[in-house]
Chains A and B, each alone.
Chain A
Amino acid sequence: MPVPSSGLTFSSDDKTATVQVSHAPIIDQPRWPAMDAESTPAFLDFKLVFKATDEPVEYENAVQQYRFEGFKANAQLEATIRVPSIDFTFKTDPLEASKCDFAVMGNEVNGKYYEVAQSTR
């Protein structure tokens, strides 16, 4: 789905990332996860902000070949959802009013890139 090139921006210190997407196509599927659950088109606008803390994290699994290095983060979201077929709109409170239970931001390597990174470490 279309996302403008400005859809993901970082602060100058890379500690804050903002994702902003408008009119993203989603579905309204009230009977999910029923196999025959009907769906109707809906649309989502959202602004998502991650702010890194000073607490580093590193998650690595050599068997599954991934390594994530970064920081714990605070994340907030504001969104508007529209379901035209039922004339329904929902708008969240402003970004600052939202909460997130767990968030991290950083850098990841996995798969073939994990192998390469390991060989040069």
Chain B
Amino acid sequence: MRSDRVLGFEVNRRRWLRLSVSSLLGMKLTGRLLNAQSVAQSCAPSVPQNHEPSNGGACPYPIPWLDKNGNHNQPAMPNVELSSIYHFKGKLARGNGFHGMGTDNKGNRLAWGTPTTDYSYMAGEYWAARRANQAIFAHT
């Protein structure tokens, strides 16, 4: 369904900027700075040495009935799972349908946002690798 407002960024109708594809922002509450690659690597399960047990990685557990890339297949709305992480407790806010106007570097006035332009934050505890992990996440 397309509304009257222009959907997404349009640059002479040739490019869309994908904002919501891959920006899961993570930050440990300790304030330690991590870059995107190191976040992914640091939560990946390590290979046990000398027959040690493996408890899996510390990556957040996805919502079982949604895809692990987040809630791209489920817009935020009443009475749905708003979290992007399973086994989570904490603060959460989520908004959907952000839109407005803006200006590009050539001075063109452009509408931005779609009915599924979705931003959120999650701050609290999630369970992974058989232990509680503290983290803040933002989803764009």
Contact B17 A42 (CB under 8 A): yes
- Asked if A25 is at the interface (CB within 8 A of a chain B CB), the reply is yes
Contact A88 B105 (CB under 8 A): yes
- Asked if B1 is at the interface (CB within 8 A of a chain A CB), the reply is no
Task: Find chain B residues with CB under 8 A from A61 CB.
Answer: 79, 81
Task: Find chain A residues with CB under 8 A from B140 CB.
Answer: 24, 26, 44, 46
Q: How many residue-residue contacts, CB under 8 A, span A and B?
A: 221
- Complex Cα distance, B76 from A57, in Å, reads 13
Contact B88 A108 (CB under 8 A): yes
Q: Give chain A nearest CB distance to B53 CB in angstroms.
A: 20
Contact among B14, B86, B103, B113 with A110 in the assembled complex (CB-CB below 8 Å):
B86
- Complex Cα distance, B4 from A92, in Å, reads 19
Interface digits, B128-140 against A, CB 8 Å rule (1 contact, 0 not)? Answer: 0000000010101
- Complex Cα distance, B27 from A1, in Å, reads 8
Contact A111 B127, CB 8 Å, known A2-B33, A29-B21:
yes
- Asked if B19 is at the interface (CB within 8 A of a chain A CB), the reply is yes
| Chain B 107-131 residues near chain A, CB threshold 8 A | 110, 112-113, 115, 119, 121-125, 127
- Interface size class on chain B is 35 or more
- Complex Cα distance, B82 from A107, in Å, reads 10
Q: Which residue of A lies closest to B79 (CB)?
A: A59
Contact A19 B97 (CB under 8 A): no
Q: Give chain B nearest CB distance to A43 CB in angstroms.
A: 10
- Complex Cα distance, B81 from A103, in Å, reads 13
Contact among A70, A77, A97, A110 with B119 in the assembled complex (CB-CB below 8 Å):
A77
- Asked if A56 is at the interface (CB within 8 A of a chain B CB), the reply is no
Q: Give chain A nearest CB distance to B109 CB in angstroms.
A: 9
Q: List 5 A-B contacts (CB under 8 A).
A: A28-B18, A30-B16, A59-B80, A101-B115, A111-B86
The 8 A-B pairs at the shortest CB distance, nearest first, are namely: A101-B97, A5-B31, A105-B93, A111-B87, A103-B95, A75-B95, A1-B36, A98-B100
Residues on B close to A: CB < 8 A? Answer: 9, 11, 14-19, 21-23, 25-27, 29-31, 33-36, 39, 61, 63, 65, 76-83, 85-105, 110, 112-113, 115, 119, 121-125, 127, 136, 138, 140
Apart from A26-B23, A104-B95, 5 more pairs, CB < 8 Å: A7-B25, A26-B140, A92-B101, A103-B94, A113-B87
